[in-house]
A and B are shown apart, each in its own frame.
Chain A
């Protein structure tokens, strides 16, 4: 009995020691999966997004848009974006039904136009985000990652693009918040291994979900920044499928 107790004490001590080590047992790929799960946890979400473009001289341009998103298990998420201001982009709509199925509505032309995924690398409405950055993450599908460092609050990952993926960034450094599994900083590199963009995000819990509330994207090459502020975030309001249609894309912003 005494021996058993001794073993229990030893096991207890080791288990205590093992607590921080056990967290290392999680792999980089598993962390990416956790990140994806965090992003796709809500069934749907809607918000108002204020996008401020800041050039290297400090000149600012502000765009305001409404965003609706719906998680489709096992498939690419659906996303609808409609611009509210400024006047020259008011009514412009962008609908994503899959990575290779995107539509753009330009009210001036009264026409919905399908846009192919080659546009993914283009700037989204002049911001430092590309159309690809605006699509849903699905990191685990496109990247493999390993943990390079860990501290009390964060995992530091090095992610490499998987073979066959068409993502524009071959490597990324991610700093993941352990508490929420949210990436608080992502450094994205170009094909030459040079730092291209830096994403810094703030998040907080709204209801039962973690949500990104602010983000700064810096294009290091262009010395240009984009600030995103998410407002009026709502989760699980039961957005209907018919919201994510070309019919609704043409609908006037209300």
Chain B
């Protein structure tokens, strides 16, 4: 923690500027849920969070820029459970907060060669030309911990990681980018997620094996990480440029799934309670990508297509003595979108995207599906999504309304029973420069066996106040 503060203070002696954001985010459930995960009543807080983001950036000499961002985050939840929690000079649990070094990198323009840029350090590197939902943005791992807070600032975001990035600018037509990460970093998950996953697994085992009915099952989850070797770390290469007024990129990524996949389920029914061991790992993955964007008749269009080539990941269920390949040898995920502004009043901005394969989805083999992988919900089989968004500035730069509609379809032949949707109305108000207040809601519906159906009792409203300095 001291190191981060030092890193923030040190550049102040150089030609640096300091900026940041102060944010407060609060959400309240509007529906009751008696589900075993996150049971709640309408009117109860889901999450209150405040953060102070501070960044320092500057330039050294003619061509070296640096950027450091630290986030002080405090979860404004009841943290005092016993009297001793109120003790301490630093106000103990009353004042608990996390300090995160979000990004810290420097960039050298003209690194040895005039057209070569070097960017080194903890950073967020974005691939893909789609709008917020990508299939090729794989260099940094997904930030699921913040995703499920439904904080709009984190929608579709990833975690900055240490990367060596070299970009050579040949011409307007073609440029080359090479990124090498120094270690594999997995996706983050919300607190209690894996405990909940263990409970889901326990319930499924009871359903599948009547033998376990009435028995006490203890599910132990293990994780095997990829070896930390220079030749095993994720990397990617990308050619990009503009040809015939179309922006394009061709890419190749070699790394790992950032979410763990089950490799083995084993158990000992001789013990009491019955001990079931579930082992997770991160299968290696190659992605060959194509991206493009342009405009036609003033309509903006873009697309991303990824051919995913996972390793032959063996799924072993020793309870059923079954072994099978988890994934198809290769499969495709893609996003295609359009946007247009209608000349009504201040202009109604509209955006439509078709997504084949959400962030967490994989193409499992039929045998793996039969064995329980790829079930609806998290890490499910690839499905289709339609995202529609409209925005209107009621008063330019003062008041904006937005509405997003995300529809999931898993089976077109059984549309009524296989779709789920989420609606996000939002109001954004800028009372003065640098201050914005967003108020919005998430309304979800669908059968419990669908992607968003799991969250149908998680309707909520939120308010986010953000001050930039």
By a beta-carbon cutoff of 8 Å, the part of chain A in contact with chain B is 53, 55, 61-62, 86-88, 90, 98, 100-101, 109-111, 114-123, 125-126, 166, 168, 222, 224, 245, 247, 251-252, 254
CA distance A168 to B19 in the complex (A): 38
The tally of CB-CB contacts under 8 A between chains A and B is 88
Q: A122-B347, A166-B298, A254-B59 are in contact. Are A114 and B126 (CB under 8 A)?
A: no
Say how far B337's CB is from chain A's closest CB, in angstroms: 11
Whether the pair B298, A118 counts as a contact (CB closer than 8 A) is yes
CA distance A98 to B126 in the complex (A): 25
Whether the pair A111, B126 counts as a contact (CB closer than 8 A) is yes
Whether the pair B433, A116 counts as a contact (CB closer than 8 A) is no
What residues of A have a CB within 8 angstroms of the CB of B59 in the complex? 252, 254
Whether the pair A125, B341 counts as a contact (CB closer than 8 A) is no
Residue of A whose beta carbon sits closest to that of B175 = A247
Say how far B345's CB is from chain A's closest CB, in angstroms: 9
What residues of B have a CB within 8 angstroms of the CB of A224 in the complex? 396
Whether the pair A90, B19 counts as a contact (CB closer than 8 A) is yes
**Contact partner of A61 among B242, B295, B433, CB < 8 A?**
B433
Say how far A142's CB is from chain B's closest CB, in angstroms: 15
Whether the pair B300, A245 counts as a contact (CB closer than 8 A) is no
What residues of B have a CB within 8 angstroms of the CB of A114 in the complex? 129, 247, 293-295, 300, 302
Say how far A118's CB is from chain B's closest CB, in angstroms: 4
CA distance A13 to B469 in the complex (A): 70
**B212 sits at the interface (CB 8 A):** no
Q: What does the 1/0 interface line of B151-176 toward A look like (CB < 8 Å)?
A: 00000000000000001010010000
Say how far A214's CB is from chain B's closest CB, in angstroms: 22
Whether the pair A87, B397 counts as a contact (CB closer than 8 A) is no
Whether the pair B124, A116 counts as a contact (CB closer than 8 A) is no
CA distance A61 to B397 in the complex (A): 10
Q: A117-B295, A123-B397, A251-B109 are in contact. Are A110 and B341 (CB under 8 A)?
A: no
Supply 11 further A-B pairs (C-beta < 8 A) apart from A101-B242, A121-B341.
Answer: A62-B433, A98-B245, A100-B295, A114-B295, A116-B299, A116-B301, A117-B295, A118-B298, A168-B343, A222-B396, A247-B167
Whether the pair B468, A87 counts as a contact (CB closer than 8 A) is yes
Residue of B whose beta carbon sits closest to that of A166 = B298
Whether the pair B346, A123 counts as a contact (CB closer than 8 A) is yes
**Contact partner of B433 among A88, A101, A119, A168, CB < 8 A?**
A88
What residues of A have a CB within 8 angstroms of the CB of B436 in the complex? 88
Q: Which of B254-298 contact A (CB under 8 A)?
A: 293-295, 298
Q: What does the 1/0 interface line of B122-135 toward A look like (CB < 8 Å)?
A: 01111001000000
**B13 sits at the interface (CB 8 A):** no
Q: A114-B294, A116-B339 are in contact. Are A126 and B172 (CB under 8 A)?
A: no
Interchain residue pairs with CB less than 8 A apart (24): A53-B397, A61-B397, A86-B433, A87-B434, A87-B469, A88-B433, A100-B245, A100-B298, A110-B124, A114-B129, A114-B293, A116-B298, A116-B301, A116-B340, A119-B349, A120-B298, A121-B347, A122-B341, A123-B347, A123-B397, A222-B396, A247-B117, A247-B169, A252-B67
**B57 sits at the interface (CB 8 A):** yes
What residues of A have a CB within 8 angstroms of the CB of B340 in the complex? 116, 118
**B369 sits at the interface (CB 8 A):** no
What residues of B have a CB within 8 angstroms of the CB of A111 in the complex? 126
What residues of A have a CB within 8 angstroms of the CB of B339 in the complex? 116, 118
Whether the pair A117, B126 counts as a contact (CB closer than 8 A) is no
CA distance A90 to B295 in the complex (A): 27
Residue of A whose beta carbon sits closest to that of B436 = A88
CA distance A226 to B383 in the complex (A): 48
Say how far B84's CB is from chain A's closest CB, in angstroms: 41
**Contact partner of A252 among B65, B349, B468, CB < 8 A?**
B65
Q: A61-B397, A118-B298 are in contact. Are A86 and B434 (CB under 8 A)?
A: yes
What residues of A have a CB within 8 angstroms of the CB of B67 in the complex? 252
**B410 sits at the interface (CB 8 A):** no
**B218 sits at the interface (CB 8 A):** no
What residues of A have a CB within 8 angstroms of the CB of B245 in the complex? 98, 100-101
6 residue pairs, one from A and one from B, having the closest CB atoms:
A126-B397, A116-B300, A116-B295, A88-B468, A118-B298, A118-B341
**Contact partner of A121 among B300, B302, B343, CB < 8 A?**
B343
CA distance A100 to B298 in the complex (A): 8
Q: Which of B420-445 contact A (CB under 8 A)?
A: 432-434, 436
What residues of B have a CB within 8 angstroms of the CB of A122 in the complex? 341, 346-347, 349
Whether the pair B300, A115 counts as a contact (CB closer than 8 A) is yes
Say how far B397's CB is from chain A's closest CB, in angstroms: 3
Residue of A whose beta carbon sits closest to that of B302 = A114
Say how far B87's CB is from chain A's closest CB, in angstroms: 39
Residue of A whose beta carbon sits closest to that of B342 = A118
CA distance A86 to B21 in the complex (A): 13
Q: Which of B297-348 contact A (CB under 8 A)?
A: 298-302, 339-341, 343, 346-347
Residue of B whose beta carbon sits closest to that of A102 = B295
CA distance A68 to B397 in the complex (A): 25
CA distance A133 to B412 in the complex (A): 46
Whether the pair B126, A110 counts as a contact (CB closer than 8 A) is yes
CA distance A88 to B428 in the complex (A): 15
Say how far A47's CB is from chain B's closest CB, in angstroms: 21
Whether the pair B65, A251 counts as a contact (CB closer than 8 A) is yes
**B393 sits at the interface (CB 8 A):** yes
What residues of A have a CB within 8 angstroms of the CB of B19 in the complex? 87, 90
Residue of B whose beta carbon sits closest to that of A224 = B396
What residues of A have a CB within 8 angstroms of the CB of B57 in the complex? 252
Whether the pair B298, A123 counts as a contact (CB closer than 8 A) is no
Residue of A whose beta carbon sits closest to that of B128 = A111
Whether the pair B396, A126 counts as a contact (CB closer than 8 A) is yes
Residue of A whose beta carbon sits closest to that of B349 = A122
